[in-house]
Chain A
């Protein structure tokens, strides 16, 4: 039985950094590791851009009645900040880690569709570039990242920005759908014959479940985007009430995608945490079955919660009650996962490395974001606090405290595998503390601002009691995060200049990617170790105390 699949073009070698075709690989490679790294670089570049936009927002809001930035520009900046961070940072970073690691973790040599893999990456990249081209074409989109009709329709737009938004996101959406197809097919067909589905590492499992979410969510978004594009280009009036359309219809389309999207961004981070915490606690994950099954519950429920973004549009109490219940239910599997992660640490032997630090920050900040999320399932609280800074604070706790901290844990954890070099842990700790403390300073206080009545998406605000000092402190926190990120980039730069010194398995981890050289060769595996449990390398390193055989 062959332990790897032949890549169709294997005979005429594919261009890659490792085949001596040098820089061409950055254009033409279909190697999943090369593409995974390219996804991560793409995310990093856009993270810098989106981060600078965030700094502009914080500079403008540092003082009341500030006129540093015009309202027209401010609206473009916050729209681009949100769109960039969701579609061009958190998405490609999660997909990138998946693309790099899934074949390695299941004992495969490639993704199922290597060319589709490259196509997906380039679609995402092209979408991002088109989106940013809008700045040179008269103006960036300025109707917010959820682009509500009719503000986003022709009558209320003075630039082509929204058109670039629509076309750009349609392209990244196509890329995401391609990536999802690829993940599903790869996991279903290319696993080492030893690995049954219930033996998948949890990171692979989460990406697998996530791919089904993406496969169903992105077509919805793209349908909506196309309808709005037809509205804007050919006057179709799908979302214009004055001519028989419905502004609320757009909201349904967008959030039916938008809420699954939150989990699409969160599940990969859950997967990372489910790898990092066990390895550094020296114990298997607490309740593997529960963590795996609860992800399916989350995926299914996430399709029936979208209207909790719309509790103020005037839906009936019956409809509100349905979406309130489903939104609260989704908190149960998510909340219990946190207990599983903490349970994994119980009676462990915990090594507080940089990835583990990020995982701990994830546990606390994501819990906080999850809890404030529950408050938005409680309909009457939404009636007061939605679209205020309390909401802004909530979703930053989910997206940064959850997804981004998880991704940082993953990057520090797998960086030695990808580059053959260990990121400096001292600089890593500086990055960690500055970023985490700055993050909490900025966003914790914003909950208070929201309760005090400050709405989101305002380019300036009157000098009401406490608003000034809280906003100033929030800006200070943003500066701390900015410095932390500068240290992170310096760390990457410094580390990449050093020679490769890391062995196969620097963390003494358990999954198959750690059975390859760091970084892996173009062909991942010449031979794969036999796999009998969820932790093949544990079994090899602890022959006297192996895990229970599952096959």
Chain B
């Protein structure tokens, strides 16, 4: 049933198989080179054979045979490469992406065009379904890579790239930006959460709900500060009048487990440290230090943490 298995193999498995074939052949070649190098060094050492050796200049026949062997191996790998490549990079004529991801210095913007969900960094996908991703960049070149879910693909401003992603099991999958993108490239990590289709649908529905509003005084003060301190110049919150989409969209921010591209756990202490001085937490980020007072931070934390 090998064939059946191969037909069903995911992109990641296909690539892993190819890598294993390569390892076997390369391993044999490398072992031969090591063996002959050491064998000749020992067998033909000057101590053992001090006399001047016969001055052989080589054999064209041997060269020819070796060239034929090398070409044959190459031909096999050309076939395997093209075959696998066409299975993995098999993008339809008019691609309709399930998920659109835009790389920013240094966070991920995620849109689900079918449902209209917009979020940042915390990315959810359903299991058991091949997902078509559309990738682009808002600034420099980034590269999307979650090794257990698919290939990597560069994100380039002005270019739309497409790739498939697939999760068989539920769980969290780690990845990372893998094209150098500036100061905080190291902290542009990815965490994709795969949910079963039902839970995924529930998550989507929850994301689509309008943000909770509260009559709590601190919450309202935070909301006002959010506007006054020009947070709204960069951050959007769906269902409010804040629509600028330069920094991460903060709708339902409180529902995210981690923030800053998987750098920090989303809790009050971390949020407080971040608002106190973003540059001290993640130097080089685009968010300036607003030099907020402690009471202002209290209010902003209450507001942002209220965005459930």
Residue pair B37, A290 in contact (C-beta under 8 Å): no
Residue pair B40, A346 in contact (C-beta under 8 Å): yes
Closest to B145 in A: A455
CA distance A241 to B66 in the complex (A): 48
Residue pair B44, A348 in contact (C-beta under 8 Å): yes
Q: What 1/0 mask marks residues of chain B from 1 to 45 whose CB sits below 8 Å from any chain A CB?
A: 000000000001011001100100010011001101100110011
CA distance A271 to B189 in the complex (A): 44
Would you list which residues of chain A between 112 and 163 have a CB under 8 Å from chain B?
A: 143-144, 148, 150-151, 155-156
Tell me, yes or no, whether B193 is within 8 Å of chain A by CB.
no
CA distance A160 to B4 in the complex (A): 58
Q: What 1/0 mask marks residues of chain B from 105 to 120 whose CB sits below 8 Å from any chain A CB?
A: 1000000000000000
Question: What is the distance, in angstroms, from A22's C-beta to the closest C-beta of chain B?
Answer: 43
B-binding segment of A36-44, A197-205, A366-374:
A366-374
Residue pair A72, B284 in contact (C-beta under 8 Å): yes
Contacts of A247 in B (CB 8 A): 141, 156-158
The answer to whether residues A290 and B139 also contact, given A324-B82, A332-B70 and a CB cut-off of 8 A, is no
Tell me, yes or no, whether B54 is within 8 Å of chain A by CB.
yes
CA distance A374 to B161 in the complex (A): 26
Tell me, yes or no, whether B246 is within 8 Å of chain A by CB.
no
Q: What 1/0 mask marks residues of chain B from 158 to 187 whose CB sits below 8 Å from any chain A CB?
A: 110110000000000011111111111111
Tell me, yes or no, whether B80 is within 8 Å of chain A by CB.
yes
Residue pair B183, A72 in contact (C-beta under 8 Å): yes
Would you list which residues of chain B between 28 and 83 have a CB under 8 Å from chain A?
A: 29-30, 33-34, 36-37, 40-41, 44-46, 49-60, 62-63, 66-67, 70-71, 74, 77-78, 80-82
Tell me, yes or no, whether B308 is within 8 Å of chain A by CB.
no
Would you list which residues of chain A between 259 and 300 have a CB under 8 Å from chain B?
A: 281-290
Residue pair A248, B156 in contact (C-beta under 8 Å): yes
The answer to whether residues A144 and B180 also contact, given A312-B154, A314-B153, A364-B34 and a CB cut-off of 8 A, is yes
Residue pair A375, B22 in contact (C-beta under 8 Å): yes
Residue pair B33, A340 in contact (C-beta under 8 Å): no
Tell me, yes or no, whether B272 is within 8 Å of chain A by CB.
no
Residue pair B36, A387 in contact (C-beta under 8 Å): no
CA distance A36 to B181 in the complex (A): 39
A-binding segment of B85-93, B124-132, B211-219, B296-304:
B85-93
Residue pair A347, B140 in contact (C-beta under 8 Å): no
Contacts of B162 in A (CB 8 A): 314
Tell me, yes or no, whether A363 is within 8 Å of chain B by CB.
yes
Would you list which residues of chain A between 499 and 520 have a CB under 8 Å from chain B?
A: none
- Chain A count of residues within 8 A CB distance of the other chain: 85
Contacts of A462 in B (CB 8 A): 189
Tell me, yes or no, whether B84 is within 8 Å of chain A by CB.
yes
**A317 interface neighbour in B85, B187, B284, Cβ under 8 Å:** B85
Tell me, yes or no, whether A378 is within 8 Å of chain B by CB.
yes
Residue pair B53, A282 in contact (C-beta under 8 Å): yes
Tell me, yes or no, whether B147 is within 8 Å of chain A by CB.
yes
The bracket for how many chain B residues form the interface is 35 or more
Tell me, yes or no, whether B244 is within 8 Å of chain A by CB.
no
Tell me, yes or no, whether A496 is within 8 Å of chain B by CB.
no
Would you list which residues of chain A between 448 and 505 have a CB under 8 Å from chain B?
A: 453, 455-462, 464
**A156 interface neighbour in B30, B37, B139, Cβ under 8 Å:** B139
Contacts of B96 in A (CB 8 A): none
The answer to whether residues A343 and B58 also contact, given A156-B182, A364-B33 and a CB cut-off of 8 A, is yes
Tell me, yes or no, whether A226 is within 8 Å of chain B by CB.
no
The answer to whether residues A379 and B283 also contact, given A286-B58, A457-B180, A547-B55 and a CB cut-off of 8 A, is no
Residue pair A455, B154 in contact (C-beta under 8 Å): no
The answer to whether residues A283 and B67 also contact, given A144-B180, A348-B44 and a CB cut-off of 8 A, is no
Tell me, yes or no, whether A352 is within 8 Å of chain B by CB.
yes
Residue pair B152, A374 in contact (C-beta under 8 Å): no
Question: What is the distance, in angstroms, from A159's C-beta to the closest C-beta of chain B?
Answer: 12
Tell me, yes or no, whether B249 is within 8 Å of chain A by CB.
no
CA distance A547 to B57 in the complex (A): 10
Tell me, yes or no, whether A313 is within 8 Å of chain B by CB.
yes
Tell me, yes or no, whether A388 is within 8 Å of chain B by CB.
yes
Residue pair A381, B19 in contact (C-beta under 8 Å): yes
Question: What is the distance, in angstroms, from A537's C-beta to the closest C-beta of chain B?
Answer: 14
**A461 interface neighbour in B29, B41, B80, B186, Cβ under 8 Å:** B186
**A314 interface neighbour in B18, B84, B154, Cβ under 8 Å:** B154
Tell me, yes or no, whether A329 is within 8 Å of chain B by CB.
yes
The answer to whether residues A360 and B41 also contact, given A72-B284, A371-B30, A375-B22 and a CB cut-off of 8 A, is yes
The answer to whether residues A332 and B71 also contact, given A151-B182, A321-B82 and a CB cut-off of 8 A, is yes
Tell me, yes or no, whether A52 is within 8 Å of chain B by CB.
no
Residue pair B183, A345 in contact (C-beta under 8 Å): no
**B67 interface neighbour in A144, A156, A332, Cβ under 8 Å:** A332
The answer to whether residues A379 and B81 also contact, given A151-B182, A313-B154, A314-B161 and a CB cut-off of 8 A, is yes
CA distance A381 to B185 in the complex (A): 23
Tell me, yes or no, whether A523 is within 8 Å of chain B by CB.
no
The answer to whether residues A380 and B41 also contact, given A242-B157, A248-B159 and a CB cut-off of 8 A, is no
* Contacts from B to A (Cβ < 8 Å): 12, 14-15, 18-19, 22, 26, 29-30, 33-34, 36-37, 40-41, 44-46, 49-60, 62-63, 66-67, 70-71, 74, 77-78, 80-82, 84-86, 88-89, 105, 139-141, 143, 145, 147, 151-154, 156-159, 161-162, 174-187, 189, 283-284
A–B Cβ pairs within 8 angstroms, 24 of them = A71-B283, A143-B180, A150-B157, A241-B158, A248-B156, A282-B46, A283-B53, A284-B55, A286-B58, A314-B153, A314-B161, A336-B67, A340-B58, A345-B41, A349-B52, A379-B81, A380-B85, A387-B178, A455-B145, A457-B186, A458-B176, A459-B185, A461-B186, A462-B189
User: Could you list 12 further interchain pairs (A-B, Cβ under 8 angstroms) beyond the known A71-B186, A456-B180?
Assistant: A150-B157, A151-B182, A247-B157, A282-B52, A336-B66, A340-B58, A343-B58, A374-B22, A375-B26, A379-B84, A384-B19, A386-B178
The 3 closest A-B pairs by CB, nearest first: A241-B158, A458-B186, A287-B58
